Amino acid sequence: MAVQKDTLNIGIVGTGFIAEFHLRSMIGVRNVRVAGVYSRQAENRERIVSLAQKLDLGPCVSFASLDQMLESGDVDAIWILSPNHTRLDIMKQIHDAVTEKRSNVFAVACEKPLARTISEAREMLRLAADAGLNHGYLENQVFCTPVLRGKEIIWRRAASTTGRPYLARAAEEHSGPHAPWFWQGDKQGGGVLSDMMCHSVEVSRHLLTDPDKPRSSLKVKAVNGTVANLKWTRPKYAQQLADRYGGAVDFINRPSEDFARATVILEDEEGNELMIEATTSWAYVGAGLRIQLELLGPEYSMEFNSLSTGLKVFMSREVTGEEGEDLVEKQNAEQGLMPVLEDEAGVYGYTDENRHMVECFRKGLTPSETFEDGLAVVQMLIGLYRSAEIGQTVSFPADDLEDYVPLVARVASS
């Protein structure tokens, strides 16, 4: 992996919500050029190319096929930012182009979750390794500015003098995703447990890991999960989904969970028991997306709530205008007292995540989050789904879960 490039030329696959977030974050990243964009529809590609040019991240080109982008000779690394069910085909195409020497791409970064099942995640890792690609798993919460700063302070000042932290709590909640495929269990891989618990378990595992040791220094011993349908199966809300997505989402007959709870028991190298407690939902109606993180140890604690912002604005009922997400992600209102995150790309972690991936790929270093971490996350999620299905705690290692498909993903694809 001895690469040394002054500027990393990246090609983006996917032109939706998260592609825009990544582009906006890239203005805080050095030594990078957004060189190419691919998704199926020309108008989407043009939108993202224009944004890249406007942000001065180019020159950037729209490619009508993934192979054209891979074979252009102008792209070093691919950022996979397309829906979960498209991942493996895209990764296979990258693998084939590189192993057949049609492409000089040498690195790949992939959005969360790495895959829908353990065997899919393992295949993503195998394909990247077989093609000799450097790989990064895009879990932004690990790079959230409060997580970077909070973890550094807790471990340097408190854990070093009074003992390691033992409990991490995480919650990520909002009022529901913005595109139909998220609500379709077979495409997405599940419901909110797959979509958002992937953040919570990984940021918790990261906070609990000694900064001087690898993530593998913690072993998962057991997981216990609960899933529920709290809001979106109610007839009025199921109808809202059907209307919003032209019948493509059927939450009466094919629902996926809108609430999930997880307990993950881990052990460190000295046999200390550690705990992750996490809650995620698509049934939270507050000002917008709420990320709540806590880390507790014998003489200390840290806590972060993304909606407890320093900046707030108040708008009376006389202030009217269009609905938007210009104050916080998944914003639910435009009047009253509103929290504002003045640098969402930074606070949510995209800027530091992309800076880290770009620097690692440019220099041929292994990122702190790789496809191996993405696989470990999927193992925890699948264990949680299995636990919820059988109503029992699942002990790890759980080798029988390799081909396990969550109930809602199974039902939806039948």
Ligand X SMILES: NC(=O)c1ccc[n+]([C@@H]2O[C@H](COP(=O)([O-])OP(=O)(O)OC[C@H]3O[C@@H](n4cnc5c(N)ncnc54)[C@H](OP(=O)(O)O)[C@@H]3O)[C@@H](O)[C@H]2O)c1
Q: Which residues form the interface with ligand X (CB under 6 A)?
A: 13-19, 39-41, 44, 81-84, 86, 111-112, 140, 179
What is d(CA 401, CA 389) in angstroms, rounded to the nearest whole number?
13
Shortest Cβ distance from residue 360 to ligand X (Å)? Answer: 18
Residues 269, 272, 274: CA angle, nearest 5 degrees: 105
DSSP string computed for 237-277: HHHHHHHHTTTS--TTTS---SEEEEEEEEE-TT--EEEEE
What is d(CA 348, CA 138) in angstroms, rounded to the nearest whole number?
12
Please count the helices (runs of H) and the strands (runs of E) in the chain.
15, 15
What is d(CA 390, CA 107) in angstroms, rounded to the nearest whole number?
39
Shortest Cβ distance from residue 295 to ligand X (Å)? Answer: 20
Shortest Cβ distance from residue 371 to ligand X (Å)? Answer: 14
Shortest Cβ distance from residue 243 to ligand X (Å)? Answer: 18
What is the residue whose two structure tokens read 């906006």?
A: 24
Shortest Cβ distance from residue 87 to ligand X (Å)? Answer: 7
Shortest Cβ distance from residue 15 to ligand X (Å)? Answer: 4
CA distance readout (Å), 138 to 66, 160, 352, 409: 20, 29, 11, 23
Which residue number, 203 or 227, has a Cβ lying nearer to ligand X?
203
**Tokens describing residue 25:** 């974050």
Please say whether the beta carbons of 176 and 282 come within 8 A.
yes
**Tokens describing residue 214:** 């690898």
Which residue number, 18 or 357, has a Cβ lying nearer to ligand X?
18
Shortest-Cβ-distance residue relative to ligand X: 16
Shortest Cβ distance from residue 18 to ligand X (Å)? Answer: 4
Which residue number, 79 or 155, has a Cβ lying nearer to ligand X?
79
DSSP string computed for 335-365: SEEEEE-TTHHHHTTHHHHHHHHHHHHHHTP
Which residue number, 8 or 13, has a Cβ lying nearer to ligand X?
13
Which residue number, 50 or 395, has a Cβ lying nearer to ligand X?
50
Q: Which residues contact 333 (CB under 8 A, 6 or more apart)?
A: 287
Which residue number, 376 or 398, has a Cβ lying nearer to ligand X?
376
Shortest Cβ distance from residue 67 to ligand X (Å)? Answer: 12
Which residue number, 266 or 409, has a Cβ lying nearer to ligand X?
409
Which residue number, 110 or 394, has a Cβ lying nearer to ligand X?
110
Q: What is the DSSP letter of 375?
A: H
